[in-house]
Amino acid sequence: MDGLIMDYELNVPAILRRGEQLFGDKEIVTRLPDKSWQRYTYAEFAPRARRLAAALRKELGMGDGDRVATFAWNHYQHLETYIGVPVGGMVTHTLNLRLHPDDLTYIATHAGDRVLIADKVLWPLVENFRERAGFEHVIAIGDGATPDGAIEYEDLLASAEPGDLPDREIDERSAAAMCYTSGTTGQPKGALYSHRAIALHSLASAMAGVLSVTENDTALPVVPMFHANAWGFPFTCTLVGAKQVFPGPFLDGESLLEAFQQEKVTITAGVPTIWMGILAELDANPGKYDTSSVRAMVVGGSAAPQSMIEAFEKRHGLRILHAWGMTEMCPLGTVSELTSRERALSDEEQFRYRAKQGTPAPFVEMRARGPEGIVPWDGAAMGELEVRGVWVSSAYYETPEGADRWTDDGWFKTGDIVTIEPHGYIEIQDRSKDLVKSGGEWISTVALENALMGHPAVAEAAVIAVPDEKWSERPLAVVVLKEGASAADDELREFLAPDFAKWWLPERFEFVDEIPKTAVGKFRKTALREKFASAQPAETA
């Protein structure tokens, strides 16, 4: 229309241009597999990302929309792929290293991946699916001999100049990246992210009140780059010019804390299991690490127990920022950043809010649907969360059978059961498949788990539904005790009793050495159900 604002493409090339032009001297730092550190600047990174894009097109014949798979830890070459591939008009497809070779074969084949870029240190795993997935080219990253049949990453880069990349604008509505859900709940399904979604997701993530990422930050994503785009950090940081620190293969508490201290990390992100490891390391070594630079530890992927949030803050002065998201949402949905309303409350109330999942990011809208329709925002009525927004998938990639995840009016059904408060704070009660339905009423396994993990003897707790003749289902708690600690069923039940209705309390507790985890570090409840579901009928109150 005459006189309107220009149509500027919101795309990954624009993210790269900004990072390079304005923040050329900012650093990107990586821990290499031999534990040494690699450092370079945005000014060195950007031409390498462009070389990669040019070489993939010129040398390997890749074209617009073609898929380039990655199988790699978090490091600078992975960042070059993240940014370079979409800058060249192709699509980065991050493969999860922890998946079974059959799943990897399925995912890579389904996505149509033509090229694989993989770490040499992961080659034994690569060999398990590389033939079957039928990649046309395999590119190897890192030191050491080039594996058979692979192209050396550095040789590929050297084969092109940044200027070889065709000078053209990339349509913001074309695909830039893709991820598959990790299959916690069935066959993995692909989410295809547009340039526009990534650009707006980066902008919103950087906003104050969301993750507040600025040029002044040093970000260390512990969350793998193969788990929902490392929650967008590589794109967000490049857009705002934040220093980026990548931990390589070293995700243990000690290595991460060393990295926080050495690089003066200000913001970091990962799933609760990672933070449990860090908390244990900090508790065991008082005063060993200087973590004073860290302003926020973003926790998501599973619920962050309130006890963990409090332990970090009260014992170590470290602040957890709880966030909720999904592969189908780029992935950011909500952040539990307190508003002035909650900050006026007591400390105890503020912790309670911070353990909730929070309020939606801009341009993401939410509602919840119960058996009788959309539920009120009263903090009590439970319903399945539905979302729509500027970076929410509109369909799974070539998976027509997944279409039932979208409502007739185009909202995405998350599968998460929530309550929503009058001011829009959401709290996840459960995944719909994990809820316990006892005597026709829902019991939140997440609420029970979080409470149990607040008991001093409990390291981890997962609650699952087991069949029950009288009540249809009852909760069973699977507990891992801390080393050297002990606690009996009765003690744990009494610990829960003040906070829950009597009929919510599990009759049965199973004590195990370890809770099986999914490829992204969540409790694998399907495995627990298989193990314990044939349980004897519980005696219920």
Q: Which residues form the catalytic set?
A: 181, 328, 437, 442
Q: How far apart are CA 372 and CA 383, in angstroms?
A: 9
Q: How far apart are CA 469 and CA 451, in angstroms?
A: 27
Residue number, 183 or 190, with CB nearest to ligand ADP: 183
Please state the closest distance from residue 389 (CB atom) to ligand ADP, in A: 15
Residue number, 97 or 151, with CB nearest to ligand ADP: 97
Residue number, 14 or 228, with CB nearest to ligand ADP: 228
Residue number, 449 or 468, with CB nearest to ligand ADP: 449
Q: Which residues contact 210 (CB under 8 A, 6 or more apart)?
A: 204, 332, 335, 337, 361, 362
Residue number, 428 or 479, with CB nearest to ligand ADP: 428
Please state the closest distance from residue 92 (CB atom) to ligand ADP, in A: 17
Please state the closest distance from residue 475 (CB atom) to ligand ADP, in A: 17
Q: Cβ-count burial of 58 within 10 angstroms (0-12 exposed, 13-18 middle, 19+ buried)?
A: middle
Residue number, 53 or 228, with CB nearest to ligand ADP: 228
Strand partners, 310: none
Please state the closest distance from residue 115 (CB atom) to ligand ADP, in A: 25
Question: Both ends of the chain: CA-CA distance in Å?
Answer: 69
Please state the closest distance from residue 110 (CB atom) to ligand ADP, in A: 15
Nearest to 453 by CA among 273, 256, 222: 273
Q: How far apart are CA 189 and CA 100, in angstroms?
A: 15
Please state the closest distance from residue 333 (CB atom) to ligand ADP, in A: 8
Q: How far is CA 463 from CA 137, 275, 339, 445, in A?
A: 45, 20, 32, 5
Please state the closest distance from residue 520 (CB atom) to ligand ADP, in A: 6
Q: How far apart are CA 500 and CA 341, in angstroms?
A: 27
Please state the closest distance from residue 286 (CB atom) to ligand ADP, in A: 29
Residue number, 338 or 428, with CB nearest to ligand ADP: 428
Pairing of strands 412-420, 383-389: antiparallel
Would you state the structure tokens that stand for residue 362, as one six-digit string? Answer: 């801009």
- Are the C-beta atoms of 222 and 196 separated by less than 8 Å? no
Q: Cβ-count burial of 132 within 10 angstroms (0-12 exposed, 13-18 middle, 19+ buried)?
A: middle
Would you state the structure tokens that stand for residue 188, as one six-digit string? Answer: 């993995």
Q: Which amino acid belongs to residue 128?
A: N
- Around 121, how many Cα atoms within 13 Å sit in the side-chain half-sphere? 14
Residue number, 385 or 487, with CB nearest to ligand ADP: 385
- For 381-427, give the DSSP string: --EEEEEEETTS-SS-TT-GGGGGGB-TTS-EEEEEEEEE-TTS-EE
Pairing of strands 175-180, 151-152: unpaired
Contact residues for ligand ADP, defined by CB under 6 A? 181-185, 228, 300-303, 322-327, 357, 414-416, 428, 431, 520, 522
- Are the C-beta atoms of 242 and 53 separated by less than 8 Å? no
Pairing of strands 67-71, 91-94: parallel
Would you state the structure tokens that stand for residue 466, as one six-digit string? Answer: 């087991």
Q: How far apart are CA 453 and CA 189, in angstroms?
A: 32
